Structure 1
Amino acid sequence: MYVLGLELRNCAADLCNWTGSGFAAAVDSRIVLQVRLRCTEGSVRWIYPGQALRVVLEPNLSTARRTTICIKPSPSFRGASVFIERAGRLELLVTDGGRPEQQVFCFRADGPHRPAIYLQSSPQSDGAWSRRMLGFRYELLGNRTNLGHGGHQTSCRPCNDTELLMAICNSDFVVRGSIQKVSHDSVRQTSLVEVSAVRVYWQRSGVFEQRASTSGSSSSSSWHGHIHALLQCHVRPGDGEFLFTGSEHFGEAWLGCAPRYKDFLSVYQTAWAARRNSCDFPLD
């Protein structure tokens, strides 16, 4: 149990993010700084990291207790190990060394206890610890199963009609456009789909950006963005227009249902005639 012989010292924080220093631990190495955050996503920045930092996540969720938590270390993350806390005991999640900033780490937080992330800074004999900054972004994904790389769904099969009708209502982004290029990353085990969109119906953040273009005496604008997918899904370029839906994680768009637009129209119009559509969707 990590609490033996250590003092927990609470730190002020806002609802989602925390930035603080570890100077207190330089005076007393038994001090563990404790931060409480109440959002489903946010960030932690620990400047001049000391002995240890405990981050308790206390979101106001009306869902079940079972939750999946994902963290993405910052590019400057070096010289520390990350543990998850279960019933007062620590389980190693990220080891000191390697390149954790290139990965997303997910774990399930089950049971009545609030999920907690525990950072333990490695001692630096040359005093370099005082010049470092450790940090990560976090997301609580709620009840999810079959999670693969980065906490994303591992299923690669096409969506059925019911899933498609739900996707246009519940996705973080819904855009209509064409595939410009698909590139593959064997290290991250992901594919990157470059999309040129003629219409962005909605998006949670600014993943898709509007660009102005000039042709002769006329000017127009279009939307461009990138969508990630698992490499195992074997995403390939295709002609024509698609309706892209999916989720956003750590500022990145991840592919969900992506039917051809004409196929989506057929499914939606059939459901609308039978009054089975889950929500209204603007048709051109």
Structure 2
Amino acid sequence: MFHFGIYSVWILFVAVFNVALCNYSEDQCSWRGSGLSQQPGSVEQISLHCSEGTLDWLYPQGALRLSLSPRLPSAAVGPGGGGGSSGLITACVKPSGDFHGAQLYLERDGVLELLLGDRGADPAAPPMVRCFSRLPGERLALYLQATPHQDISRRIAAFRYELRGDWTARLSLDSNRVNSEDACRPCNNTEILMAVCTSDFVVQGNIRSVEADQSLRAAVIKVSATRVFRQKYALFTGPGRLIRRGDIRTLQQCGVRPGSGSFLFTGRVHFGEAWLGCAPRYKDFLQAYLVAKEARQIPCELAVD
């Protein structure tokens, strides 16, 4: 049984993953506050209504109750092209580099699982992204527990969050739960054509090199983009239209290696970084696209001419 106290306070961060269709403003995406303004044992009620945002909690003490009601597409589609009819919502949290003064737990069916530890205990450890999903009807909660400290100065528990509908294992960053067989398998033609329509970026280009990102246990694909069909953010930049470069991350266990030839890279933006979805060779994509277009079975048009 957990007790509230001056130096050991449970901060309740209840994540209500219901897909809301109401409008929201950008100032409802993030929260910043201080535990010094709260009475010991009090619980401050907070509600955010975005699919991504930040929480910055200075001098953790007292308690927060944060409800998330993100406005997500009614038919959210993951990078592999799966439909959103399953009602699956995936959430990811990324702690700041100096996350300190609290521990974050996921509570699922009454069982607590540590997601983020107090980095003050091991400041050399890289901040890890943790992801988890809620199935329809499942009840989840996040608990942010202030760790006991006589001196709470210079302690900030801060993290970014993202919630998406039907993210598949292709984009899962929780390496302890990744199904590598599903995450690394090549996309079929149907998935490729859907990814072209729904991805945050669609780029034709070549692989310059592949490097390791040990902090995320990911492979970083260095891409020279010859054509940028679409990008949600400025992921691929350069001095001219024909000279653009950018990085795309994927799971390290997929074993991506540098190779010759032109590819079509698609995927999602995750905490400001590009993550790979489908990546067929461009000639294979073009053949599948033209066949589907002739049969009037393409989900969207792409200016391939």
* Same topology, TM > 0.5: yes
Q: Which amino acid aligns with 1:131?
A: R
Q: Are 2:148 and 1:123 aligned?
A: yes
Cα drift, residue 72 of structure 1: 0.4
Tell me the percent identity. 46
- CA distance, structure 2, for counterparts of residue 89 and residue 32 of structure 1: 22
- TM-score normalised to structure 2 length: 0.77
- CA distance, structure 2, for counterparts of residue 258 and residue 65 of structure 1: 26
**For the Cα contact (< 8 Å) 2:12–2:66, is it kept in 1?**
no
Partner of residue 69, structure 1: 91
- In structure 2, the CA distance between the partners of 1:91 and 1:32, relative to structure 1 (3 Å rule), is farther
Selected match of 1:165 from 193, 200, 224: 193
Partner of residue 21, structure 2: none
Cα drift, residue 41 of structure 1: 0.9
- CA distance, structure 2, for counterparts of residue 104 and residue 278 of structure 1: 33
User: CA-to-partner distance for each residue in 1:160-186, whole Å, 9 max, x for gaps?
Assistant: 111111111111110111111111245
Q: Which amino acid aligns with 1:244?
A: F
Cα drift, residue 65 of structure 1: 5.0
**For the Cα contact (< 8 Å) 1:57–1:115, is it kept in 2?**
no
Partner of residue 32, structure 1: 43
Secondary structure, in 3 states, of the residue corresponding to 1:131? Answer: coil
**For the Cα contact (< 8 Å) 2:89–2:135, is it kept in 1?**
yes
Cα drift, residue 52 of structure 1: 3.4
| Aligned pairs, number | 271
Secondary structure, in 3 states, of the residue corresponding to 1:130? Answer: coil
Selected match of 1:104 from 88, 110, 129: 129
Q: Which amino acid aligns with 1:107?
A: F
- In structure 2, the CA distance between the partners of 1:111 and 1:238, relative to structure 1 (3 Å rule), is closer
Partner of residue 223, structure 1: 244
- CA distance, structure 2, for counterparts of residue 106 and residue 122 of structure 1: 23
- In structure 2, the CA distance between the partners of 1:101 and 1:36, relative to structure 1 (3 Å rule), is farther
- In structure 2, the CA distance between the partners of 1:198 and 1:146, relative to structure 1 (3 Å rule), is closer
User: CA-to-partner distance for each residue in 1:32-74, whole Å, 9 max, x for gaps?
Assistant: 3332111111111112222333322112344665422110001
Cα drift, residue 242 of structure 1: 1.1
- CA distance, structure 1, for counterparts of residue 165 and residue 251 of structure 2: 20
Q: Which is richer in strand?
A: 1
Partner of residue 253, structure 2: 232
Partner of residue 223, structure 2: 195
Matches within 5 A, 1:132-281: 132-144=155-167, 146=169, 148-150=172-174, 154=180, 155-186=183-214, 188-209=216-237, 211-212=238-239, 222-281=243-302
Cα drift, residue 90 of structure 1: 5.3
Q: Which amino acid aligns with 1:56?
A: S
Give the gaps of 5 or more residues in structure 2: 14-25, 76-85
Selected match of 2:55 from 22, 25, 44: 44
- TM-score normalised to structure 1 length: 0.83
Give the gaps of 5 or more residues in structure 1: 214-219
**For the Cα contact (< 8 Å) 1:34–1:54, is it kept in 2?**
yes
Larger RCO of the pair (alpha carbons < 8 Å, separation 6+):
2
Cα drift, residue 98 of structure 1: 3.7
